[in-house]
Structure 1
Amino acid sequence: VEVWTARFSQEPADQSVVRGQRVILSCVVFNYSGIVQWTKDGLALGIGEDLRAWPRYRVLRVQELGQYNLEILSADLSDDSLYECQAPDAALRSRRAKLTVLIPPDDPVIDGGPEVLLNAGESYNLSCVSRGAKPPSMIEWLKDGLPIDGAVSATEVLSDRKRVTTRSYLPIHPVDTDTGRTYSCVATNLAVPTGKNTTVTLNVHHPPTVTLSIEPRSVLEGDRVTFTCQAHANPPIMGYRWAKGGVVLQGARENVFTTKADHSFFTEPVSCLVFNAVGKTNVSILVDVHFGPILLVEPQPKTVDVDSDVTLNCKWAGNPPLTLTWFKKGSNMVLSNSNQLYLKSVSQADAGQYVCKAIVPRIGVGETEVTLTVNGPPIISSDSVQYAVRGERGEVKCYIASTPPPDKIVWAWKENVWEKEKGTLLERYTVEQSKPAAEGGGVLSTLTINNVMESDFLSTYNCTAWNAFGPGTMIISLEEMEDITVGIIAGWTVGCTVLLFIFLLVLVLIFYRQRKGSRRGVTLGKPDIKVETINKESHSLEEDSGSVSTASRMVKAMYSPFKDDIELKSDLRSDTLDTRQEYDLKDPTNGYYNVRASTHDEVRPASRSTMHYSDYRSPTGTPGGAASISSSTGGSGAACYDPRPPSRLSHISYAQFNTFTRGGGQSQQGPANPPPPAGADFPGDCSLLDSASQLAYDNYSYPSHYPTYRMGFAPSSLAPLEAGPSYEMYGVGSPGGPGLGKYGSSTRFSYTSQHSDYSHSRHTQRMQTHV
């Protein structure tokens, strides 16, 4: 049977608590049901939950859990002790827990506050006291709200040996501009992490601050000049006094003094003395009589040893008042603004040329140089890491610049030591010395390595030089440098190729976008069409030819974009009129004009449908629908038929031949595919008319077995035709027909509007186009 013994499952731990807050010390005893008590600094607090002797103490007991926590309310400095939890029946004692009570400091106090009166130029220590803190407070100073360093602190333990007073001192050097400036003291500790602070304001008393001006700033001798003395002070100014060359000017008691200037005003300055309760300030000025800079004392070259002090002298005179500056040649840093340049504990780096420069405003500039030489040990200025190519000839260079020059230069590398000025070692190493003028007169010692090997990169090279002031040493390492010429060339080649490809691609894209945009901007427009009725009684054949050419060009312009569609649709025509209309391409003039023409085209198949037309009128004026058709061989009296309907069918619909029989007063269907008729089968002045296709008319040639015809109106001598319009075919050059020169139309086409009146004779409908 396993026996469980009593033990602590949780012991009290060290804690910190701010004074006035609540704290709990933990204690849990496992497998224990006896008495549990707490001790404070070894003194038992009592048994039970309520500790009557300690009204702010209470044991928080939970029997089932074995918990006996100690609660302390409103912790005070007296609670800052060691606490222990004990189980006497089991002889158990917990570890001792330290309870630390934190006490915030009192409000800090700055001596002399809230306004501290100081004198400008007199050092002063601001003092801040923070009392009664536990642990000791940390004091921080702020100047106009910004942290400032330099304070010194001291602590003092109070009589209870637990609280501490801290005092901090901040040294300040007030100037006249510090009046109104604020200083803050902030005290913090663990009890008040945000801290407590107090602030004081400075009131700085100072002698007058004076600015002396002259008007005009540049004068000639005998001109009047006005001196103005501007001053401010704390406390207020009490009076002014003027002097020239140290001699008081009687009667000058204000801040403005006016007089005539002579040459003495250049060498004898005018001074203004201003005083108050604190002190006085005297300011002098020379009258501006112009002359350029004059060197009065020329500086002399100097040679000194290292760590010595040296003074360089230079004196200029000039007017307006000159500005004198000292700087080292090659540098812009101003070293001095007086006649003397003082250098303390010079080093070899201070050697060189120094420039004394005088500037007279608006007049001129003068400068002179002086050489400073510093004797010291050799200075080696070579690179500590140098490079060579494996298998090539390499060099390790050691440049020594010093005054005096080096007496001896020694190279040491691997197991080799070379002390001579020049020579060859092991046939691979050569040492040479030179004095390159470009390097400033120093000594250059060069260690040359023939056929650089791997071992040469693993060694360091010691270059040591001696002169009377001691040695100078530099350790140089040699690193391998790859020959990257081929790689660079290859990289440049690839990069240029990629850039060229990108450039060409951009050009192609730009060209494509421009071309695409220009296509989107093209708009097809209809040509304006004008229809005129022209009386054509007598025209020459040459005029007809000109009209034909003009009409042909216009028709080409109108119909050429649709040529391919017409050829395709002509193969898809069906036997019925509706089918032909379905595949018909729309008229570019939107059906406003019906173009009727006779063409001498290639042979086309005749229509297989019978078509009856009611617009035929016989020469004798016979009314009715379909008239009787009789064969006629005569020229003038033959009845002529227009086999085309008056409806607005497309030109392709008219392109089908309709075959009629010449018999008995009615039209009959002809054979499906009649052979081409010979010229003798038709009257000399009348024939069937085939319509024009939508293709350009000039694209067709005359079949060899057809006679040539022109379309027009019958001559006026044919009286039977006066009753109504009819179309006749006149042979061109045919001996049996009338001549074309008198009666023929001026063109091979007759253009008729859908509302044209067929009763007008001896006129043709001619379409003229104007674009």
Structure 2
Amino acid sequence: MKIPALLLGSAWSSIAIIDEPLPVRAIVGETVTLPCAVDGLPSKDKNSVQWLKGSTAKGYFALGFPPLGIERFTQKAGENKDYSLIIDDVQIEDEATFECQVTKHQLRSRQAHLTVLQPPQDVSMFPVSDGRSGRWPELDEQEGVLSVVEDEITKLRCVASSSKPATVLDWSISGASKNGTDSISGEVVKTTVSEMTFKAKKDDHQKFVTCKGRNEALDEPVIREVVLNVLSKPSISVELSSDSTTEGDDVTASCRTSANPPVVASDILWTVGGVRVENASGPTLQLNSVTSDMDLQLVECRARNSIGTSSSATPLRVTYAPKAINSSPERIVHDQLERAALKCEFAGNPKPEITWFRSHNQETQIGSGDFLEILELATSHAGEYICKAESVLGKAVSSVTLAVRGPPVITSQTVQTGDTLECAFIAEPEPILVQIRDVAVTDQREALVFKGTPEDFKNSQLSLNLERGQYECVVGNELGQVSKLINLKETGLPLEVILGTVIAVALLLAVAGAALWLRLRSMTRGQCYKAADWAGASKHSSGGTGHHHSRKDDNFATEISCLHLIRDLSTKSVNEIQSTSSHQSKKITSVQGSRAGHAHQSGSAIHDDGYGTESGSNNKNSEDSSQSESNSDYEVLVCTLNQSVSTGSEQIRVVFEGSDPSNVNATYFPENLRSQAAKIRQKQLINNQRPKARSVSQV
């Protein structure tokens, strides 16, 4: 733009500033040119152009006419109308407002402000210690590694010094932005200080921490970066070779550590139940033959490194059979009608079940649990109480004696065996009299076999070696006197042995009976009949005496071919079997008397019900008793009917199977006698006779 010159005391001329300076920004060290061109200026006035520098607040001062006397400042001398101002190696102090003037002609250019920028002279990052963490954090500048301690507060500081304008500092850890606290100092040039605090985790190990400085004087941000080396004291876990161990077994404990720097084996120590295990170091611990008192004790591993010491523990679980650990006093005393609570404590893993019994009756349970409560005491409650603990691993027994103030209570058994008589008792207050008397001796003085003083029976039990017999135990205190008769017998087999023997014999008999039953079942499954000589007996005797029978068919006769004689229903033994070759049969006789030979002489009437049962045995005439020793019924297994049946015979005889198996032509089952009779009819083995099987007696 042309600015016309103002003519002072002269004629008007066309002098103008045709190129004016503009606001400019420069970085320290650069060269800045502030343009100024004047047109129409006479050559004689070339030295009338000069530059002003300053500010409205502080005022302006002239730089003078060229050549300028200020280092780094140069003003062109008007060649080609150019009066520009050149500033080399711009510095912060060069920042000002500049103006080009044609002084003689009173011409002034517009004002142009020179802004000088300065990048940060240095951007640095370093840790700040609070004095409580020892040597940490620590920066290895050469390696660019920052060592910090896990979970401890770490403070990092980033400083951007002497910049214009102030440098902006940004924080990040592996790309994740972090907040920092900034402070800026300086009037013209600024120093920015930013601090970031954080707690490093193990996962932060090997991550990058970055401080980035941004400034207008920088083409690219300034980055300062370090790698995190997260130091940690040992992280420990303890593992056992078995979650649950039975008493007496071995257990191996393993200590697993994770630490930076690593833990060395010699820095691993072990304790069990809080007690140091001597000569045990390293990552494993061998526990041999663990005991029940080690149950739930802590197995602890303690390890250390340069950062610190840490520990971890796990409980040892030992399974073991119940054990009595404590009982409320072995002897407790109460008044009558008071409430009593008896206590038994057992240790065991798994926890045992506790049951209560009286010592004299350990078959009847009277309570369960750690406590047995009796609400209103009587003297009958006095005595020894047994508490039993049981689990899958075993049993344990303990006892508590309850004394009730009153007359003594004698707890001994009334029947004892052996050479020693025991008189046990409970007395509260203490007994003043204990006597043993022999009941068999009538003289009272001679009957007294023992009379003791309180010193003799402080244990509430008196034991004496005595002969077999009946004795009276007498115990008295200041509240009364009681007695009990005790029979002392020879030592016999223990009850358990007797019971065991009886049970064993019963089992053997049961097995034998079962075997016999199976044997019978395995036979031909024929019909069991009772056979006897019931008819035609007179024809086989010399007298030919007649006989009576209950059958309607008087001529009923057959031969029954049979395999076995089962048993004598009258429990009389059969000792002789006589052979009859003519009929290929065998007749049963008894050595007890001529039971088969004399039966026909009795003439007794026999009633047969026709179903294999005998009802005629008891219908004999009385006179037959002299001729026959007894009535006998024989039950026989009828297997087959012999084909060679003598139909004319009037006498039934028991016939055993012949040697020729071809004679066996039929098998009869005992379930249905009627059907067997039908089979006999069908085979026409009995001619003109009613085919009905009968049982008879008087054999």
TM-score (norm: length of structure 1): 0.33
TM-score (norm: length of structure 2): 0.36
